[in-house]
Amino acid sequence: MAINFMTLTRHIYEGEKRYPGATGELSDLLHELSLAAKVISLEVNKAGLVDIIGFAGHDNIHGEKVKKLDVFAHETLFKAMDHGGHLCVMASEEEEDILRIPDYHSKGKYVLLFDPLDGSSNIDVNVSIGTIFSIYRRVTPNDGSGGTLEDCLQPGLKQVAAGYIVYGSSTIFVYTVRDGVHGFTLDPAFGEFLLSHKNIKIPEKASIYSINEGNYKYWHPGLKKYIKYIQDADNRGRKPYTSRYIGSMVADIHRNMLYGGIFIYPADNLNPDGKLRLMYECNPMALIIEQAGGRAIDGSKRILEIQPTNLHQRVPIYIGSKEAVDKVEEYLKQENQ
C-alpha cells in the first residue's frame, strides 16, 4: 500500500510556493495552530478520565487543579500562538475582551480569532466537539505595536484563512487559504495530520437538514413552511431530507459539507439574533462553505458581508448546499412580503 506523505505541514508550505510574494508567516501560523490542535485533541481524548482522576475545578491526584476542557483549549491556543511574532492581537469566544500579545513578544501583521471548544455541552457525553479559527490581516499600522479591537472587527470577507478541527471518531483538521478546502486526519500512531480530503466540494443538492426542532414554535412562518417542504417527498421524485442534529456546529457542518445538507440556527421569537457568534463561528464556517461551493446567509444577507460591531455579536445562520440555501431564502422572503 502506498504511504501518504502529504502531511498538513507539507501541504501548507507547498501551497505557499504558489504565491511568489509570500513571506511564510501565514504558513507558520497555520503550522502553529496544528500543533495546538494536537495538544487539544490529546486532552479531549482523555476527557472521560477526568471523572476518575478528579473533576474539573477540583484537585487531581497530584494536588493540581483540573481545568475545564474549554478553558484548557483556550489557554493552549493562546500559548501556542502568542510568541511567533506574526500576530498583533487575538480574540477568543471564551474572553470578553481582545487578547493582547504579551509585551515581551514581537507583534506582526496578522489577527487571530478562535472558538477554542465549540459544542462544549457535548464534552461530558463523548460527542464530537471542535475548534474554529479565523485569520485576518491587521488594519492598524504594522509598526511593532499591538493590535486593537478595530483589527478584530472586520467583515468575514476579509479573512485570509479559516479552519476548524473536529474531535470525533478521529481528529480532522480542515482549512482554507481561499484556495479550496482541504481536510487532514490525525494519525495517532505518529502524530501527524495526513491529507484525507483533498479539495472538498459540498454537493450542490442537499439530503440532510440540521436544526434544533425543539424550538419549532418560536420559528418564523417562512422557516416552518421550508422545513415542511423538505420533509415532504417532492414531486420531482426526490426523497424527503434526513434530519441530523448533533448540536455541535462544527461536527454538523462538517458532515453536511461531505454529504450535502443545510445547517440552520435561525433568529426566532426566543433569540431574535440567533445564537451563534459571527466572529468565532459563523464567519470562519461561512468562508469554508463558500470555498467548498456552498452558501451562508443570515436569512437575507451573505454572512461574509456583515460589518461586525461587537466581538461577541450573534447572527442567525443558514449554511450549506447552494440549492438548499437558495430555497430557504426564497421561503423567508415570501413570508416577509
Catalog residues that contact ligand FDP under the rule CB under 6 A. Answer: 118-122, 212, 247-249, 275-276, 281
Burial class from Cβ neighbours inside 10 Å (0-12, 13-18, 19+) for residue 313 reads: middle
Set of cell numbers at residue 77: 491556543
Q: Which helix (H) or strand (E) holds 182?
A: strand 182-187
Q: Which is nearer to ligand FDP, 110 or 318 (by Cβ)?
A: 318
Q: Which is nearer to ligand FDP, 118 or 151 (by Cβ)?
A: 118
Q: Which is nearer to ligand FDP, 67 or 137 (by Cβ)?
A: 67
CB of 300 to ligand FDP, least distance (A): 21
CB of 312 to ligand FDP, least distance (A): 11
CA distances from 320 to 2, 51, 54, 161 (A): 34, 37, 40, 19
Residues 6+ apart with CB under 8 A from 259: 203, 207, 208
CB of 275 to ligand FDP, least distance (A): 6
CA distances from 221 to 100, 102, 193, 224, 241 (A): 44, 50, 44, 5, 19
Q: Which is nearer to ligand FDP, 142 or 271 (by Cβ)?
A: 271
Q: Concatenated DSSP letters for 246-314? A: -S-HHHHHHHHHHH-EEEEE---SS-TT-SSBIIIIIHHHHHHHHHTT-EEESSSSBGGG----STT-B
Q: Which is nearer to ligand FDP, 32 or 281 (by Cβ)?
A: 281
Set of cell numbers at residue 110: 496578522
Q: Which is nearer to ligand FDP, 249 or 289 (by Cβ)?
A: 249
Q: Which is nearer to ligand FDP, 119 or 294 (by Cβ)?
A: 119
Q: Which residue reads 496544528 in cell numbers? A: 34
- How many angstroms separate the CA atoms of 75 and 78, rounded? 5
Q: Which is nearer to ligand FDP, 13 or 245 (by Cβ)?
A: 245
- Residue 125 has, within 13 A of its CA and on its CB side, a CA count of 8
- How many angstroms separate the CA atoms of 327 and 305, rounded? 20
Phi-psi region of 157 (alpha: psi -120 to 50; beta: other; left: phi over 0): alpha
